[in-house]
Chains A and B, each alone.
Chain A
Amino acid sequence: MVDANGYILKVSNIGVNLQNQTLLDHVSFSVKKGTTMAILGPNGAGKTVLLRTLLNLLPHTGSIEWTEKVKIGYVPQYVTVSDVPMSVKEFLSIGKGNYIEALDSVRLTDKSILNKRLGVLSGGQLRRVLIAWALTDRPNVLLLDEPTTGVDMDSEEPIYLMLNDIKKTQKITILLITHNIHIVQEYADDLLALNKCVTYCGPSSEIGKPNIQKQIYGETVCVETQKGE
């Protein structure tokens, strides 16, 4: 049983090959219940491929073992909403649960947003609505593909603070993709660094150490600068 030791997910040796290209190779890791795992890596490292594989959207080798009765909420990086004349209320109603509660969780307390069209929302509002949508089915795991895509820098931190609260109050496990080391340090318990294979898997607090950074980003490259620069 996956949850015997407090784990909600165990991934063993998964590989993904599409159109003769290796997208993931021998990836293994585990995720503890109620924790946040950040997934970090360069473009094309297979981060989104990994989340899609965990959702069983891609053919793969190896094994993905979720705990019994797992309920996954997913927020993709990109959505097409600009052309859809759909209100927030109509969108949230596609889910089965209580969307008012979900809106409160993502701190959209002004309910006038319910009558707004999805296409006119700001980047931050749209991200919160998408997370609320994922929460309506009362999941115990959230998979978030760069949850602050399209959000201005000042609004990023409040979204991670909100996710941290959701994790604590609703006891949800979170796997999120990010490029931001500060977010990894502040809001993630564990870090999975990818570059098709796993380059680091362990406590996120270690990311400040030079040897771990070297492990994730490769050898340090020094550049020469003139004095006073």
Chain B
Amino acid sequence: MSEVILYSVVTAVFVGISAGYLGSLMVLEKMALVGDALSHVALPGLAIGIIFNFDPLIGAFAFLFISAIVIWHLQRVTKISFEALVGAMFTFALATGILLMGDDLEALEEALFGDITQVTAMHVGAAVIISIGAILLTRVLYKKVVLAMISEDLAISKGINVAKTNLLYLFLVSLVVAIGIQIVGTLLVGFLVIVPAIAARNLSTNMHRYVMLSAVFGLAAAVSGVLLASYFGQPPGPVVVFTGITIFAVTVLVNWRKKYTT
């Protein structure tokens, strides 16, 4: 196995697990499209990195962080739903990113669909540390977010600061999305946050199973997608989407079979 593929697979393992784990909460919160749209917000950051010749991932991190704060603040002030705000923000960011990239179509394609040949040892290290950190912190937040979802009043009455918890969670999703961009690109990274979770829901009657399955499906989709992409010489993003959708389709069939045989 070449060094590039090894780096990509290791990154895919951690991105897959963390995106699946964090995504399980995103889907429950009915914020699935928020995770998807957030990923597009990284595009102007990537573009600025390419234009000014620094690591585009740093630009992506910066843009995601700023967007998370702006969206969170606007939601609190205007009471408009997260999805609507992120929808507005992501189209604006996508337009800005495309304009900034100008006619550099190759860089635009890499940013949109991922490029495993660009993954370095530093990126792998960042993916491992960020994934582990994001999973551990989300583990602490998990019950609080779920309780707030069941009833915000109930959560606040238990002393949970729901607004701060949501902001921290958005930050963590931004981090995972940023490291996922390397593998699947800005256009498709949202997929890794949504599809493993909805596949896991098809087979879960309790939270523990749901969260674990979501992480496992994220891992399976990301790793098999990266390996198949390198084998067939395709961009990894679309292949990861295909492997993930296959997993989802299997869970739909299993669920359907269970319903009609019991």
A interface with B by C-beta (< 8 Å): 52, 55, 57, 72, 74, 76, 78-81, 83-87, 89-91, 94, 115, 117
Contacts and interface: CB of A to CB of B under 8 A. Distances in A.
Given A94-B143, A94-B147, A85 B154 contact: no
B206 A115 contact: yes
Q: Indicate the size class of the contact surface on chain B.
A: 20 to 34
A86 B157 contact: no
B146 A84 contact: yes
- A contact patch SS: loop
B149 A57 contact: no
B157 A85 contact: no
Interface string B132-169: 00000000000100110111011011000000000000
Contacts of B151: 76, 78-80
B240 to A, nearest CB: 25
Given A94-B143, A94-B147, A86 B153 contact: no
Contact of A74 (B153, B204, B207): B153
Nearest to B27: A83
25 contacts: A52-B153, A55-B153, A55-B157, A57-B156, A74-B154, A74-B157, A76-B151, A76-B154, A79-B154, A80-B150, A80-B151, A81-B150, A84-B146, A84-B149, A85-B206, A85-B207, A85-B210, A86-B146, A86-B206, A87-B205, A90-B207, A90-B208, A91-B150, A115-B205, A115-B206
B153 A117 contact: no
B253 interface: no
A87 B153 contact: no
A76 B153 contact: yes
Contacts of A85: 201, 204-207, 209-210
Nearest to B153: A76
A38 B209 CA distance: 41
Contacts of B149: 80, 84
B28 interface: yes
Most A C-beta atoms less than 10 A away, residue of B28, B150, B209, B210: B150
A57 B153 CA distance: 7
Contacts of B150: 79-81, 84, 91
Given A80-B149, A94-B143, A86 B207 contact: yes
Q: Shortest 3 CB-CB distances between A and B: which pairs?
A: A87-B206, A85-B204, A85-B210
A79 B150 CA distance: 5
